[in-house]
Amino acid sequence: MNAAKSGYRVFSANSTAACTELAKTITERLGVELGKSTVYQETNGETRVEIKESVRGQDIFIIQTIPRDVNTAVMELLIMAYALKTSCARNIIGVIPYFPYSKQSKMRKRGSIVCKLLASMLAKAGLTHIITMDLHQKEIQGFFSFPVDNLRASPFLLQYIQEEIPDYRNAVIVAKSPDAAKRAQSYAERLRLGLAVIHGEAQCTEQDMDDGRHSPPTVKNATVHSGLELPLMMAKEKPPITVVGDVGGRIAIIVDDIIDDVESFVAAAEILKERGAYKIFVMATHGLLSADAPRLIEESAVDEVVVTNTVPHEVQKLQCPKIKTVDISLILSEAIRRIHNGESMAYLFRNITVDD
C-alpha cells in the first residue's frame, strides 16, 4: 500500500533501534512503510530530527515508545511533532502506548503536576490527538486540549490468562493494595473468579513526609489569633498486612497497570505463598522493570510476570526468563486506521466500563 497516496504516514520518533520494534510491527499490520526520518543525538546531547519526505496535507502518526531515558524520548517526540507542524502536516497524532510522567498527575505538598505540564508541551509542539493505553489515572485525559483515546490492554491480558494458564478456573485475582481493587474486580468479574485484596502494605507514594509544614514561621513578633483552635488531623496508622479473601490452594494472579520497582510485587508474592497460593502470576500493561527488577523477580516467589510491549524490555527478558510479553500492536494499528478513515472508535471500547 502506498502510504503517501492514502493520505497518512507513520513515523517513529525513537533514536534507539530497540524502541522502533513496535513501530515496525504496527506498520506491517497496516501494510505501509515506516516514514523516512532521522532522529539522533548531537555530541553535546542535543536532539536533532530530520524529516526525509514530504508530509504536506497528510495525517501523520508518531509512534513513540518510552525507554529508560524518558526525558530524551520526550524531547524526540516534541521536536519531531514541531518539525512535522512546520512541514505543513494536516494532523499530527501521537501514538504513545505508555504515557510518561503519568504517576505525577496529582499535587503532592510543594510538588507540581508534571503530567499537566507535559500535556501542554505536546499541544504547543503541534500534536492534535493522542492514542495511549491504560493511563495511570483516567483523569489525565482532562489535562489535554485535544482528543485522547485511552485504549485498554485488559482484553489481551485476559486472553493470555484463558489460553496460557490451563487451570485458571482455580485462580483468584489479587489486588496488591486497596488502590488496585477496582482493576482487580474488573478482571475477576470478566473471568468469573474470586477476588482477594492485600491490605496494610506500605505505599511509598502515599507516605506523609516531613516537609516543614509543622514548623512555626520564622517571623519576629508573630501574633496568633486568640481562640483559634483548628481540629487536629489524626495520624495514619497502617494495620498489619492481611489478605482479604481466600487464596489457599489457588493460583494467585496479581493485576496492576505498571510494574516498575518490583519490591511491592515481590512482598505480595511472599504473603500469598504464606497464605497457601501454589502459583503466582503478575499481570501488568506497562513493564518498565527498572533497576534490579529482573534479578528480584528471578529470585522471588513469582512464577511468571506478563506484560505488554508498550515499553521495550528485551534486555530484561534475557536476564529473567519468567518475564513474558503480550503483543498489543493489533489494537494500536486498528486505532490508527480508524482515526485516519474517520471511523468510530467505539468498537475498540466495547464492553469497557468506567471502572476499567
258-300, pLDDT tens digit by residue? Answer: 999 899 999 999 999 999 999 999 999 999 998 899 999 999 9
How sure is the predictor about 217, in pLDDT bands with cuts at 50, 70 and 90? low
What is the rounded CA–CA span in Å between residue 90 and residue 112?
Answer: 33
Provide the pLDDT for residue 164: 96
pLDDT at 205 over 50: no
- The mean pLDDT value for 216-235 works out to 65
Residue with more model confidence, 3 or 117: 117
pLDDT (tens digit per residue) in 320-335: 999 999 999 999 999 9
As a whole number of angstroms, the distance between CA 287 and CA 159 comes to 18
pLDDT > 50? residue 175: yes
Write down the residue that cell numbers 468479574 correspond to: 189
**What are the tens digits of pLDDT across the range 229-260?**
778 777 777 777 889 999 999 999 999 999 99
Q: Greater confidence, 200 or 183?
A: 183
Q: pTM to 2 decimals?
A: 0.88
Q: Is the dihedral of CA 322, 266, 70, 333 positive or negative?
A: positive
* Amino acid at site 164: E
Tens-digit pLDDT profile for residues 57-92: 999 999 999 888 899 999 999 999 999 999 999 999
Residue 207 has pLDDT above 80, yes or no: no
For cell 518475564, name the residue: 323
Domains of the chain (ranges, CATH numbers): 8-151 (3.40.50.2020), 155-201+240-326 (3.40.50.2020)
C-alpha span between 12 and 18 (Å, rounded) = 12
294 conformational bin, left if phi > 0, alpha if psi -120 to 50, beta if neither: alpha
pLDDT value for 109: 82
Instruction: State the number of CA atoms in the 13 A half-sphere of 21 facing the CB.
Output: 13
Place of cell 501514538: 95
**pLDDT level of residue 15 (50, 70, 90 thresholds):** confident
The span from the CA of 10 to the CA of 354, in Å, is 31
